[in-house]
């Protein structure tokens, strides 16, 4: 399965917010959904399934550094695990650093507001089209810098972000397709 760069979907909630973003990127993959059963809740939950160990280590390092600077951190791992067990993918729900801001039939918006920047992640599942067994899954990120520190913070984050997001998208698709075959 190939992940490609794309654009923020026109019908994304993030496009309707009329916010001017300082940074936007989007990556797209294709998911086999022959039974048209995957929902925005499914992809929202899959976003939090276990990622590569090297990404976890990067987040641990990030949390140690930014906590010294007074920025938000997700708390400890056991808190995030407990949050995930109770996660319904509804607005206001939280797992670690990520809060659900909105959910529609085709999209979940996650993110956080901090003193240096606000970020949003759109997990967008294209609607089922008649005769097709596949859907596009698009993972988009937007960032609004609140001050010079936000811009400075994002300089080292940006290259890692561009490595991590396509891998996360591939993992989400693999996880969902794997659950599809194990159920079918």
- Domains of the chain by start residue, with CATH: 4-179 (3.30.530)
- Decide if 47 contacts 172 (C-beta within 8 A): yes
Q: What is the pLDDT of residue 184?
A: 41
- Decide if 43 contacts 176 (C-beta within 8 A): yes
Parallel, antiparallel, or unpaired for β 98-103 and 107-113?
A: antiparallel
Q: What is the pLDDT of residue 183?
A: 41
Q: What is the pLDDT of residue 102?
A: 96
- Interval 54-73: pLDDT, tens: 555 555 655 565 555 566 65
Per-residue tokens: 126: 């294209």
φ, ψ of residue 26 in degrees (nearest 5): -145, 140
Q: What is the pLDDT of residue 70?
A: 60
Beta strands in 40-133 (DSSP E): 94-95, 98-103, 107-113, 117-125
Q: What is the pLDDT of residue 87?
A: 81
- Interval 94-117: pLDDT, tens: 887 789 999 999 999 999 998 889
Q: pLDDT under 70 in the chain at which residues?
A: 50-84, 180-184
Q: What is the pLDDT of residue 131?
A: 74
Q: What is the pLDDT of residue 50?
A: 56
Left, alpha or beta for 70 (phi > 0: left; psi -120 to 50: alpha)? left
Of 183, 100, 179, 142, nearest to 15 (Cα)?
142
Torsion angle of C-alpha atoms 48, 49, 51, 55, degrees rounded to 10: 20
In which residue are the tokens 């984050």 written?
157
């Amino acid at each position: 399965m190939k992940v490609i760069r794309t654009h923020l979907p026109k019908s994304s909630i993030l496009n309707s917010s009329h916010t001017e973003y300082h940074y936007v990127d989007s990556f797209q993959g294709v998911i086999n959904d022959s039974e048209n059963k995957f929902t925005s809740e499914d992809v929202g939950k899959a976003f939090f399934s276990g990622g590569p160990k090297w990404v976890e280590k990067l987040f641990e390092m990030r949390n140690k550094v930014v906590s010294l600077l007074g920025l938000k951190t997700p708390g400890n791992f056991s808190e995030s695990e407990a949050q995930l067990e109770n996660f319904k993918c509804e607005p206001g729900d939280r797992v670690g650093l990520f809060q659900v801001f909105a959910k529609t039939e085709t999209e979940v918006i996650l993110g956080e507001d901090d003193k240096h920047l606000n970020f949003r992640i759109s997990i967008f599942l294209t609607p089922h089209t008649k005769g097709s067994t596949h859907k596009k899954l698009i993972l988009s990120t937007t960032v609004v810098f609140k001050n010079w520190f936000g811009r400075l913070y994002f300089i080292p984050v940006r290259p890692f972000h561009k490595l991590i997001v396509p891998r996360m998208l591939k993992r989400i698709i693999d996880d969902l397709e794997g659950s599809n075959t194990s159920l079918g």
